[in-house]
Amino acid sequence: MARKYFGTDGIRGLTNIAPMTAAMAMKVGMAAGAHFRRGDHRHRVVIGKDTRLSGYMLESAMVAGFTSVGMDVTLVGPMPTPAVAMLTHSMRADMGVMISASHNPFADNGIKLFGPDGYKLSDVDEMAIEALIADDVPLAPAAQIGRARRVEDARGRYINSAKATFPSELTLDGLRIVVDCANGAAYNVAPSALWELGADVVAIGVEPNGKNINDGCGSTAPQLLRETVVASGAQIGIALDGDADRLIVVDEAGRVVDGDQLMATIAMGWARRGLLKNGNLVATVMSNLGLERYLAEHGLGLVRTKVGDRYVLEAMRTRGCNVGGEQSGHIILSDYATTGDGLVAALQILAEIVRAGRPASEVLHRFDPLPQVLKNVRFAGGKPLDDARVQAVIADAEAELNGKGRLVIRPSGTEPVIRVMAEGDDPAQVEAVVDRICDAVRAAV
């Protein structure tokens, strides 16, 4: 059965338009609370959010939903998604909630749910919650309605947890770092953690006003970071997204380093020190073929998954791997976190630079990526990828690229779009292949 509300990363949409309304947020709170009420102890949920204006509304609605079914609520305010995951587990809560639309514009918002172990929910749990949303959830008797309270030391707990992942024998003394927090959830914790580890910190994107999250800043808009790194003479720039589970880096020359290069750097460093488990890195089908070839040259493997950090993590847990992520900068280091953590990943990158004693430009650019083209085709309905003409064009393209490149075609999990990606040694061939497939999809719809 297809899920109605949950996408690849929780529930997401334009605020005050279904499903991202206060009424739905309250229903999700009621349904999720009912689903996770197991046993006769006082049940508790941790709720965090990013800096969007709509976070106040959705937070209040979810508090009403959870307390109405007898769950106590612990509010931690604006905090990174990985912090909510960590706090859910460390505080022995029954579940956690992050109210955020990640890297999306401020008008969007979303709801991400975590189980008591700090991991995102399985498809089975999400389907069960969806069924409860559509049903009448039993409300708690008056004497058993939940309470809500705010925890004031949540930021300190997360900062200490993140700092503990940085090797104790190293220091960031003398390193000038520009950190762009996207006017989002990490606007306070990321600069503080870096400064406490000894860095000379230049912080940008740290003045949230409810509407400027991800607006011309952060991991999806690195131009401001590039300019600031060069102008300030910094050795490196770090860009997080709105909920700080994503990391993009800029080297001292202002060049952007994507998630594939960052994962390669961490995997190689950990492999040298005997820390990389199972000899594999886990990434999605969107990671560049250059990454796969680079790892193979050094005796390491690349395990590919569907797009979505939840699928990366699932493969990591199944195969016993401890490094994985996405080209977009979601990097999961399961020795330290149960989800992508931009700050923790950045600290591992900084550790590699400190150990090497060389500029970021030399340490982080591990391989030359193959030419990669990604184009989107919007459609109004139906299943264009099932069309026989489209399938024939795709088959021809795969035969043409065999041994010289890769083809990835998939429907978006968040919008009515077919994403067509190809990569290979010949950029002209890659461009032509993508155009032919896009034309066939347009003809089919």
User: Which tens digits make up the pLDDT trace of 243-291?
Assistant: 999 999 999 999 999 999 999 999 999 999 999 999 999 999 999 999 9
Let me know if 287 is a catalytic residue: no
pLDDT at residue 329 tops 80: yes
Q: Which residues contact 337 (CB under 8 A, 6 or more apart)?
A: 82, 85, 86, 344
What is 157-253's CATH topology? Alpha-D-Glucose-1,6-Bisphosphate; Chain A, domain 3 (3.40.120)
Place of tokens 């490149």: 405
What is 259-364's CATH topology? Alpha-D-Glucose-1,6-Bisphosphate; Chain A, domain 3 (3.40.120)
CA 238 – CA 250 distance, rounded (Å): 6
CA 368 – CA 289 distance, rounded (Å): 10
- Sheet of 200-204: strand order equals 200-204, 176-180, 236-240, 247-251, 256-257
pLDDT value of position 1: 52
- Chain-centroid distance of CA 53 in Å reads 21
Per the DSSP assignment, residues forming a β-bridge with 401 are none
Long-range contacts of 351-359 (CB under 8 A, 24+ apart): 351/166, 351/167, 351/170, 351/269, 352/265, 352/266, 352/269, 353/175, 353/235, 353/236, 354/170, 354/171, 354/172, 354/175, 355/170, 355/269, 359/235, 359/251, 359/252
Instruction: Report the candidate in 418, 420, 444, 419 with the shortest Cα–Cα distance to residue 434.
Output: 420
CA 233 – CA 246 distance, rounded (Å): 24
E strand residue ranges, 256-395: 256-257, 280-284, 301-305, 323-325, 331-333, 372-378
Instruction: Please state the domain extents for the chain.
Output: 11-152, 157-253, 259-364, 372-444
Give the pLDDT confidence of 47-92 residue by residue, as tens digits.
Answer: 999 999 999 999 999 999 999 999 999 999 999 999 999 999 999 9
Give the pLDDT confidence of 294-326 residue by residue, as tens digits.
Answer: 999 999 999 999 988 889 999 999 999 999 999
Give the pLDDT confidence of 381-430 residue by residue, as tens digits.
Answer: 788 999 999 999 999 999 999 878 999 998 886 678 999 999 999 999 99
Per the DSSP assignment, residues forming a β-bridge with 110 are 12
| Fold match flag (11-152 vs 157-253) | yes
CA 337 – CA 317 distance, rounded (Å): 12
Residue bearing the bigger pLDDT, 37 or 175 = 175
pLDDT at residue 2 tops 70: no
- Report the top-level CATH class of 372-444: alpha beta
Of 54, 68, 102, 334, which is the active-site residue?
102
Give the pLDDT confidence of 196-212 residue by residue, as tens digits.
Answer: 999 999 999 999 999 99
Mean predicted confidence (pLDDT) in 356-360 = 97
CB 366 within 8 A of CB 297: no
Neighbours of 279 (CB within 10 A): 12
pLDDT value of position 174: 93
Domain 11-152 has CATH 3.40.120.10: yes
pLDDT value of position 104: 94
Per the DSSP assignment, residues forming a β-bridge with 45 are 73, 95
The chain-wide mean pLDDT, for the chain, equals 95
Supply the pTM of this predicted model: 0.92
| Predicted confidence band of residue 144 (pLDDT cuts 50, 70, 90) | very high
Give the pLDDT confidence of 68-78 residue by residue, as tens digits.
Answer: 999 999 999 99
CA 133 – CA 135 distance, rounded (Å): 5
Give the pLDDT confidence of 331-344 residue by residue, as tens digits.
Answer: 999 999 999 999 99
pLDDT value of position 7: 84
